[in-house]
Amino acid sequence: MNKIQKDLFTLSEQAYAEFCFNLNPTVPRESIIGVRVPKVREYAKSICKNDNTKFFNSLPHKYYEENMLHGLLIEQIKDYDICISELEKFLPYIDNWSVCDTCNPKVFRKHKEDLIIHIKKWIIDDKTYTIRYGIGLLMGLYLDDDYKKEYLDVVSKVRSEEYYVNMMVAWYFATALAKQYDDAIIYIENNKLDKWVHNKTIQKAIESYRISDDKKDYLRTLRIK
């Protein structure tokens, strides 16, 4: 543990620590070392073949970069069952959007039928970043070949006071409008989302280069005042 912390501090940049803090207002400044994500990722790759059991079991971590490293080490796990097990232990300790959105295990792409069971459970959890993580996976892995209409309904039912949950719901539906427009537009036309999420979805969709101008013009007419 001391070695990992020491290694991370050797990679730190004070100016980046301030920048990172501004991007992650939910993280205490004193817990940010100031290591750029690509450097944390490189470090994770360099130690992923080590026995990292002690590090995985040292939750909660003291530093933001330790959490980032934890997620990136989970990302390297090639055994699906082990990956899910370690992720389930880690999710309750995620306290910011950056760590939440960075961990994307490649092994999940080969186990989508099993993974969807966990995703549905995470989305109805009571922890902000567990919910966000589940929606993020649904957006990244299930809006193309593995898409089902019912997944839109799952996300549309999310109701939260948390900004980082609502932003992810809006992001999900904006992406759905780009990829599965005919199904997704029904949720906007029928006002099935929270008002803030509804309007943010439209804003993000209008900003997207993947949505045609005529559809953007129509979406503008659906804003809720």
Structural domain boundaries in the chain = 1-110, 123-225
| pLDDT value at residue 94 | 97
User: Taking the complete model, does pTM exceed 0.85, yes or no?
Assistant: yes
pLDDT given for residue 177 in this prediction: 98
Q: Distance between CA atoms of 184 and 127, rounded to whole angstroms?
A: 26
In tens, the pLDDT along 36-80 reads: 999 999 999 999 998 999 999 999 999 999 999 999 999 999 999
Burial class (CB in 10 A: 0-12, 13-18, 19+), 113: exposed
Query: Is the backbone peptide bond immediately before 60 cis, with ω within 30 degrees of 0?
Result: yes
- Write out residues in the chain with pLDDT < 70, as ranges: 1
Of 134, 143, 141, the residue nearest 174 (C-alpha): 143
Cα of first residue to Cα of last residue in the chain, in angstroms, is 52
Interval 46-55: pLDDT, tens: 999 989 999 9
Q: Which two tokens stand for residue 65?
A: 């970069």
Query: How long, in residues, is the chain?
Result: 225
